[in-house]
Structure 1
Amino acid sequence: MDFAFDARTEELRAKLLAFMDEYVYPAEQVEHEQRAQLASPWDTPAVVEELKAEARRQGLWNLFLPDARHGAGLTNLQYAPLAEITGRSPHLAPTALNCAAPDTGNMEVLAQFGDEQQKKQWLEPLLAGEIRSAFAMTEPEVASSDATNIETRIRRDGDDYVISGRKWYISGAMNPRCQIFIVMGKTDPDGADIRRQQSMILVPRDTPGVTVKRAMQVFGYEDHSHGGHAEVVFEEARVPAANLIGEEGSGFAIAQARLGPGRIHHCMRLIGMAERAIELMCRRAVSRTAFGKSLAQQGVVHNWIADARVTVEQLRLLVLKTAWMMDTVGNKGAHAEIQAIKIATPRAVVDIIDKAIQLHGAGGVSQDFPLAELWASARTLKLADGPDEVHQRSLARRELKKYL
């Protein structure tokens, strides 16, 4: 295993680090100020569009997509350090580079499983950053940690499919530029194979019967820059049969193909969030005095900073190993490693950000520092893309199988 950055990665890292310093960090406060002046908080501030134009001009665009026909053609190992850098400003940088979830996963699905018409109608404008999208899987009435529980019905009716169901925490759906939903539901609810009951289908936002009811808060945040997390109701929403992605019964397999890269992208960005927290922790420690000496001289602060550095270095190596395995043996071959980083990374990063908040005192929970919002994002990722306990169960069974 060789995790050394190749020449292309080094070049993109240098460009991205400069882009972050020159454009993204200064835009963070501007974005908040502009959003407060918008008619709707879900509209896109002008500075975001300026960042997108500059990122595209510099060739920092669609870096996540390994398919060179549509994206940058980077391997997971090449993209990993770039995603980490964007994680330092997770609510702005990924969007600026057109590398923000859920659009990334949806573009991957369309690139891999969509037909030519679906790619032309939806993938191309997503790749251009002209529209946004949402992935509608999670439901409030069932334990969505087990995707086979999904109750939304996708019923064939002649040349159409009719969709009925209720979804929530549908990321990005509050943004008025979100024009398309990829909806997961059951086409064969009584099928013998519970992993062949589900299908995925494209549902335009303006389809009669589709209602975006409300924004769901995450620890009190509405996550405006991300496009929110909405409750969406589908009431006999009718779309052409050609909107089905793949074939009936392929929804579960497509979801697994989508979530593998998504999990590693989240973990890459989480490491960047931890690095931002460590930087803020160190700056705070050398600038504040308590009980006659600087916080940087307090033993407990030494422990927090040292433990955070060790943890981040361990996590980075595990994520890089996972990226390397995905490139060499495929997502299926790297399944155990993907589960391991999904368990370890959010858990550890939540603790690092928590220590940074503690060091900042009241400021740590305020809007004057990004730490509270970083903590909310990191804590949510202990649930998103499958809760920790599901991955622990699966990973443990994989280990025990060696001895049975």
Structure 2
Amino acid sequence: MDFAFDARTEELRAKLLAFMDEYVYPAEAVAEEQRAELDSPWDTPAVVEELKAEARRQGLWNLFLPDSAYGAGLTNLQYAPLAEITGRSPQLAPTALNCAAPDTGNMEVLTQFGDDTQKKQWLEPLLAGEIRSAFAMTEPEVASSDATNITTLIERDGDDYVITGRKWYISGAMNPDCKIFIVMGKTDPDGADIRRQQSMVLVPRDTPGVTVKRAMRVFGYEDHYHGGHAEVIFDRARVPVSNLIGEEGGGFAIAQARLGPGRIHHCMRLIGMAERAIELMCRRAVAREAFGKALAQQGVVHNWIADARVAVEQLRLLVLKTAWMMDTVGNRGAHTEIQAIKIATPRTVVDIIDRAIQLHGAGGVSQDFPLAELYAGARTLMIADGPDEVHQRSLARRELKRYV
């Protein structure tokens, strides 16, 4: 088994690591200073646009898209170590490379299922980083971990669809550059096949009847760089039938196609977040003293650091295996592995970040270090894209099927 990265991956890794050192890490403090001066907390700091321009100039752009007609043409296995690097600065780096969710998933949907008009109107400006987008599926009134529960209605009225429903935690929707929503709702709520009741439609943000009501906080964070997480009301919002993505009844299948790559991208970035936490933990341990000796000489700290290193190496191998399987046997063939990393990665990374917070004491929960925000992001991923328990249920059923 060959664990070496190929030549193209190594070239991009070297370029991306240099980009992080030279541009991204120094921009973290600058972005915070600029944000304090903005008219709206949801506006984008100027330094972010500068990062995007530099990344594009260096060819570090749309790395997530495997279709070379639209993106870098990398396989999942090639993209995995690059996404890990961006995870070390999750607020800035993915956006700088135009590789940030939910835009990535929405671009994948439009690439695979959009028609030529939809691609021209929405995909092209997304690929260029000129606009942002949001994916509206989760609802407050139902358990959205079961996507068949959604209640938003998409009703046909002549040449239009009329959308009525309430969504929340719609990532990116607070950003004023968010111009388009991909909305999942039911076109056939009484259909016999519960997985054919849903459809997806494109709803421009300025459509009458669309109201971005409020920002939803995540552990107290508003997640400005991500574009926030909004509650959105659709009150008989009307769009042309031509805004349907794919076919009526195809929404559930499109959602599954969208979430597979999204889950592995999150896990790749989580490993980078864990690496940042380990680095901060080690720097803190050698720089601080307690009870007459450096924290790095305390046995419990040794255990935390060693356990974190072992866990990250295990996770990385599992994520790389999953990426390789997605490339070789497809998302369906890698279903077990995708679920395994979605279960294992967030919970393990949460534990590593938690240890790093503990080592930093009061500083760990403060705004002076990125650990608290990293923790909030990692913990959220135990819920986002399907909670752990849903994946455990499905994975266990697949294992048991061999014995029944």
TM superposition score category, shorter chain reference: over 0.9
**Contact in 2 for aligned 1:106/1:135 (Cα 8 Å):** yes
CA contact (8 A) 1:3 1:77 kept: no
Q: Does 1:163 align with 2:141?
A: no
SS at match of 1:111: helix
- Structure 2 counterpart of 1:118: 118
Report 1:222-241 matches (<5 A): 222-241=222-241
Aligned 1:273-292 pairs, distance under 5 A: 273-292=273-292
Which residue is 2:136 aligned to? Answer: 136
Quote the Cα distance in structure 1 between the aligned partners of 2:111 and 2:86: 23
Aligned to 1:314: 314
Partner of 1:191: 191
Find the aligned partners of 1:204 and 1:236 in 2 and give their Cα distance. 14
Aligned residues: 404
Question: Which AA in structure 2 matches 1:125?
Answer: P
CA distance in 1, matches of 2:12, 2:250: 36
Gaps spanning 5+ residues in structure 2: where? none
Match of 2:63 in 1: 63
Aligned counterpart, 1:74: 74
Q: Distance in 2 between matches of 1:200 and 1:67?
A: 22
Name the CA distance, whole Å, in 2 between partners of 1:139 and 1:283: 42
Counterpart-to-counterpart distance in 2, 1:397 and 1:225:
38
Residue 345 (structure 1) aligned with residue 327 (structure 2): no
After superposition, give the CA deviation of every residue in 1:234-292 in whole Å (9 maximum; x if it has no partner): 00000000000000000000000000000000000000000000000000000000000
Amino acid at match of 1:164: T
Report the Cα distance in structure 2 between the residues aligned to 1:192 and 1:101, rounded to whole angstroms. Answer: 33
CA gap of 1:189–1:86, structure 2 versus 1, over 3 A, is same
Quick one: distance in 1 between partners of 2:35 and 2:227? 12
Shift of 1:2: 3.6
Instruction: Specify the alignment match of 1:181 in structure 2.
Output: 181
Asked if the contact 1:107/1:127 (under 8 Å) is kept, the reply is yes
Partner in structure 2 of residue 398 of structure 1:
398
- Give TM-score scaled by structure 1 length: 1.00
Structure 2 distance, partners of 1:134, 1:247, is: 20
Name the residue aligned to 2:269: 269
Residues 300-345 of structure 1: CA distance to partner in whole angstroms, max 9, x if unpaired? Answer: 0000000000000000000000000000000000000000000000
Hey, which bits of structure 1, 4+ residues long, moved more than 6 A?
A: none
C-alpha contact (below 8 Å) 1:64/1:74 kept by paired residues: yes
Give 1:25 deviation, angstroms: 0.1
SS of equivalent to 2:195: coil
Equivalent residues of 1:173, 1:228 under 8 A apart: yes
Alignment of 1:329-344 (within 5 A): 329-344=329-344
Q: Quote the residue 1:18 is aligned against.
A: 18
> TM-score scaled by structure 2?
1.00
1:83 to partner: Cα distance: 0.1
Question: How far 1:44 moved relative to its partner?
Answer: 0.6
Q: Tell me which residue corresponds to 2:209.
A: 209
CA contact (8 A) 1:63 1:99 kept: yes
Alignment partners' CA distance in 1, 2:282 and 2:4:
27
User: Is 1:360 the equivalent of 2:363?
Assistant: no
Task: State the secondary structure of the residue aligned to 1:195.
Answer: helix
Counterpart AA for 2:79: Y
Deviations 1:193-243 (A, max 9, x none): 000000000000000000000000000000001100000000000000000
Aligned counterparts of 1:15 and 1:236: Cα–Cα separation in 2: 48
Q: Which residue of 2 aligns with 1:369?
A: 369
Moved more, 102-111 or 1-10: 1-10
CA shift, 1:3, in A, is: 3.5
1:152 match? 152
Alpha-carbon distance between aligned partners in 2 of 1:145 and 1:2, rounded to the nearest angstrom: 38
**1: CA distance, partners of 2:372 / 2:351:** 12
Contact 1:161/1:238, CA 8 A, preserved across alignment: yes
Distance 1:203 1:309 in 2: 45
Separation (CA, whole Å) in 2 of partners of 1:153 and 1:5 = 47
Q: Is the 8 A contact 1:168 1:229 kept in 2?
A: yes
1:326 aligns with 2:341: no
Q: What is the SS of the residue equivalent to 2:99? A: coil
Deviation (angstroms), 1:121: 0.1
Question: In 2, Cα distance between the equivalents of 1:59 and 1:41?
Answer: 30
Question: Is the 1:118–1:243 contact (alpha carbons within 8 Å) kept by the matching residues of 2?
Answer: yes
Matching residue of 1:96: 96
In structure 2, C-alpha distance between the alignment counterparts of 1:233 and 1:283, rounded to whole Å: 46
Match of 1:299 in 2: 299
Secondary structure, counterpart of 1:50 in structure 2: helix
CA contact (8 A) 1:285 1:296 kept: yes
**Structure-2 separation of matches of 1:3 and 1:271:** 17
**Contact conserved, 1:3 with 1:320, CA < 8 A, in 2?**
no
Q: What residue in structure 1 maps to residue 219 of structure 2?
A: 219
Q: Is the 8 A contact 1:135 1:170 kept in 2?
A: yes
Aligned to 1:109: 109
Distance 1:77 1:5 in 2: 9
Deviation at 1:4, TM superposition (A): 1.9
CA RMSD of superposed structures (Å): 0.4
SS at match of 2:194: coil
Q: Give the residue type in structure 1 aligned to 2:102.
A: P
| C-alpha contact (below 8 Å) 1:267/1:342 kept by paired residues | yes
Conserved 8 A contact 1:88-1:269: yes
- Of all paired residues, the percent bearing the same amino acid is 90
